[in-house]
């Protein structure tokens, strides 16, 4: 499913349950030892997906431990992203020479919890969402909006090491299945292109977003 919102050639793998998690590397197992069973299963299935992506790119299986800020530490020369939510685990990766930034996010379809929208949007973004909802009430625009910002953050953070709040990003969703995002990073952030482009997908149970930037 996720490959439909990624450029051809980007490796991707997904699972809709935890039926076939690969064994963890000892360093990964140690990290998960004290975590709840649900988190351990989610982590392991996402690692299975990530290692399939690595195999597609010609890389041997490797541990994927969280680095600074929680971003997964992919092998040298690889850029990638991981997501999990109820009913979905996924990973994407590509050679850094071909792709400079990748971020994916999955969320359950449906409304955001009460009060969240006001925390993650500006008044202009809320007006944009209201217009989208009026034209197409069946699409969970608010959830897509949240997911798009998370996907952007996962593409942004590994390149900069800089935290960004939801109000430091302006997202514009297109009904055609694309979105743009302009970041307003703090002046102290490492210089980085603040414009991101992505694609989205909505099913009856899930929303998926992906941000991709070419490398080189
Ligand atoms: C980090 C964050 C984006 C993760 O999203 P989430 O919906 O909670 O969880 P998901 O399951 O989709 O993603 C979790 C995976 O994201 C990855 N991740 C975590 N922190 C990350 C970071 N700083 N950069 C890139 N990827 C990160 C990890 O691979 C993690 O899975 P793992 O722990 O099994 O390795 C979210 O928790 C967060 O902190 N958001 C606030 C910042 C933000 O989104 N700002 C928006 C401004 S653009």
Query: What are the pLDDT digits (tens) for 16-43?
Result: 999 987 889 999 999 999 999 999 999 9
Distance (Å) from CA 151 to ligand 1 centroid: 8
Q: 46 CB under 6 A from ligand 1?
A: yes
Class assignment of domain 2-105?
alpha beta
Mean pLDDT, rounded, for 91-99 = 97
Query: CA–CA separation, 176 vs 199, rounded Å?
Result: 9
Residue 80 has pLDDT above 80, yes or no: yes
Distance (Å) from CA 69 to ligand 1 centroid: 9
The pTM is what? 0.97
Residue 191 has pLDDT above 80, yes or no: no
Q: 210 CB under 6 A from ligand 1?
A: no
Q: 148 CB under 6 A from ligand 1?
A: no
Side-chain half-sphere CA neighbours of 202 within 13 A = 21
Helices (H), the chain: 26-32, 37-56, 116-120, 123-135, 141-160
Distances (CA, A) of 190 to 71, 161, 174: 17, 8, 29
Mean pLDDT, rounded, for 47-66 = 96
Q: Phi-psi region for residue 77, left (φ > 0), alpha (ψ -120 to 50) or beta?
A: left
> Which one of 15, 81, 82 would you pick to mutate in the ligand 1 pocket, going by the greatest count of ligand atoms within 8 A of its CB?
82
| Domain limits, CATH 3.90.470, in the chain | 2-105, 109-214
Class assignment of domain 109-214?
alpha beta
Helices 141-160, 123-135: axis angle to 10 degrees equals: 130
Return the percentage of the chain with pLDDT > 90, whole number.
89
Distance (Å) from CA 85 to ligand 1 centroid: 11
Q: 166 CB under 6 A from ligand 1?
A: yes
> Which one of 62, 63, 68, 70 would you pick to mutate in the ligand 1 pocket, going by the greatest count of ligand atoms within 8 A of its CB?
70
């Amino acid at each position: 499913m996720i490959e439909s919102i990624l450029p051809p050639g980007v490796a991707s793998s997904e699972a809709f349950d935890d039926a076939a998690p690969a064994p963890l590397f000892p360093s990964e197992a140690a990290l998960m030892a004290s975590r709840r069973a649900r988190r351990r299963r989610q982590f392991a299935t996402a690692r299975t997906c990530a290692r399939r992506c690595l195999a597609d790119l010609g890389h041997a299986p490797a541990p994927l431990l969280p680095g600074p800020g929680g971003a997964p530490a992919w092998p040298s020369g690889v850029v990638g992203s991981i997501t999990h939510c109820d009913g979905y685990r996924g990973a994407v990766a590509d050679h850094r020479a071909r792709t400079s930034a990748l971020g994916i996010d999955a969320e359950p379809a449906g409304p955001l919890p009460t009060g969240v929208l006001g925390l993650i949007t500006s008044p202009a973004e809320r007006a944009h969402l209201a217009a989208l909802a009026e034209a197409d009430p069946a699409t969970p625009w608010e959830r897509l909006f949240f997911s798009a910002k998370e996907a952007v953050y996962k593409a942004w953070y590994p390149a900069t090491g800089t935290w960004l709040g939801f109000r430091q990003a302006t997202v514009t969703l297109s009904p055609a299945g694309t979105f743009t995002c302009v970041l307003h990073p703090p002046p102290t952030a490492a210089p980085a292109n603040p414009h991101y482009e992505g694609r989205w997908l909505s099913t009856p149970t899930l929303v998926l977003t992906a941000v991709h930037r070419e490398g080189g």
